Structure 1
Amino acid sequence: MSVADIAARFRAGVYGTARRAARRGRHPNRAVGNPAGPPQTLPVPRKPAGKSDCRPTRRVGTIAGMLAADAPDCLIVTGMPGAGKSTVTRLVAERLPRSARLDGDFVSRLVVSGRVGALGEPADEAARQVRLCNRNLCTLANNFSDAGFTPVIDWVVPDRAQLDFFLSLLTPRQVLFVVLAPGIEACRYRNTLRDPRERFDFDGYEALDAAMKRELGDVGWWFDTASLTPEETADRLVREARRRALVN
């Protein structure tokens, strides 16, 4: 498939996930880094003598702070394959008091018989299954939000049409949209550091990068993480996403 073909599929709402190098396939977004990380310690408010309250304060301007609302906001973390979405979203979720991490690749693979990958054929069925996955992610996010958990979505959102679809189904919740953007070479390099069973072949970086910048370049927070560790990236997301990434 040529770069032009890949770009056309992106514009049609179908994104590339990558051809897996092993039978054990996952969405090609695993970045290097230890997924374990200690949760943030939130300050405890001082109370007058004779009164006690064990509830932590909600820090204004952080993702943790938005849990004070009746319906927690939703965080969507996207980026090219290899950008670090899976590792970073796991670390962010671990740093929040109440959270649910929603892996789009996992949700898409709930279809066992009849599944067509995003770059598979027929193209119209591939696009239909992408839309189905997007709808299921929004349904899960709304359910977790209603129960008081912050949804943290890990998924490739390649164009404005798909983002608008998410926004329409997540209303009235506010959505934080973060594009991890370490650059094409960083994504390629990270792939070489992966376990051989998890490496993937993906030849559409240039087309996907151009399509995302054209469609989403002025939306949300484009976060250059090339010089940051996954832990540093997650810490900054927790501190700054509420201020930088709001899209509705």
Structure 2
Amino acid sequence: MFLVTGVQAAGKSTVAQALAERLPESVHVRGDAFRRMVVNGRVEMGPADPPAEAVRQLRLRHALAAQVADGYADAGFAVVLQDIVLGEHLAEMVGALRTRPCYVVVLAPSAKVVAQREAARGKVAYQPGDTGIAGLDAYLREQTPHIGLWLDTSELTAEETVDRILARAEAEAAV
């Protein structure tokens, strides 16, 4: 079980997919899919002080993602679970996952690189009124428990990142 996290535009989707492709009999569980399933009544986490309903929905999304990931693991698959799991929610998510070993990988490119990646991609994750890139980066670095393998991927390709994850997971990412 791999849990890949980081801020928006850190490269989570790309790295998680590349990692899953390198593992035999593997699945890539995208936690954001559970957020998108809410048709009416979805409350986003964007603001610096999110509403209680946004936090409740985030915790539900994480719980559902953990259940699905564990279900695939129970069926014999190597699982790469990818989502934005920051702050206190990281320890909660690790606690919700039953499968062991569980390897936590935190992608932590610089805020400058995240801004460049955000500008270059075809979607906009950072909306006006939301916590900006610098604020979310600070939250990641200051409020997220330093568990697992933290990688500054500012200068790494997705393949180089996966190489480092696979080389260092056993020694540094296991929780």
Q: Which residue of 1 aligns with 2:23?
A: 96
Q: Does the CA-based 8 Å contact 1:75-1:175 persist in structure 2?
A: yes
Alignment partner, residue 96 of structure 2: 169
Spell out the pairing of 1:1-248 with structure 2 (5 A cutoff). Answer: 74-119=1-46, 123-159=51-87, 161-171=88-98, 173-195=100-122, 198-202=123-127, 203-216=131-144, 218-247=146-175
CA distance in structure 1 between the partners assigned to 2:85 and 2:50 by the alignment:
21
Asked if the contact 1:102–1:151 (Cα under 8 Å) also holds between the matched residues in 2, the reply is: yes
Give distance in 2, aligned partners of 1:158 and 1:97.
28
The 1-side partners of 2:151 and 2:50 are apart by: 34
Query: Could you list the runs of 4 or more consecutive aligned residues of structure 1 that deviate by over 6 angstroms after TM superposition?
Result: none
Query: Which is worse superposed, 115-124 or 216-225?
Result: 115-124
How far 1:168 sits from its partner (Å)? 2.2
For residue 146 of structure 2, give the secondary structure of its aligned residue in structure 1.
coil
Larger-Rg structure: 1
CA contact (8 A) 2:43 2:54 kept: yes
Q: Displacement, 1:200?
A: 3.7
Alpha-carbon spacing, 1:230–1:122, altered in 2? closer, same or farther (3 Å): closer
2:28 partner SS: strand
Encode CA deviations 1:108-150: one digit per residue, 9 max, x unaligned: 1111122222237981111111011011011001101100112
Query: Please, what TM-score do these two structures have when normalized by structure 2?
Result: 0.88
- For normalisation by structure 1, the TM-score amounts to 0.64
In structure 2, what is the Cα distance between the partners aligned to 1:184 and 1:212? 11
Cα pair 1:158 1:208 within 8 Å, conserved = no
Deviation digits for residues 39-75 of structure 1 (CA, Å, limit 9, x no counterpart): xxxxxxxxxxxxxxxxxxxxxxxxxxxxxxxxxxx21
Deviation string 1:89-122 (CA, Å, 9 cap, x unpaired) is 0000001001111111112111112222223798
Distance (whole Å) between structure 1 residues aligned to residue 152 and residue 81 of structure 2: 19
Unaligned runs of 5+ in 1: 1-73
- Helix, strand or coil: the match of 1:201? coil
In structure 2, the residue matched to 1:32 is none
For structure 2, list consecutive stretches of 5 or more residues without a partner in the other structure: none
Aligned residue identity for 2:93: F
How far, CA to CA, are the matches of 1:122 and 1:201 in structure 2? Answer: 14
Contact 2:27–2:72 (Cα < 8 Å) also in 1: yes
Bigger CA drift: 173-182 or 87-96?
173-182
CA distance in 2, matches of 1:223, 1:154: 15
Q: Which residue of 2 aligns with 1:36?
A: none
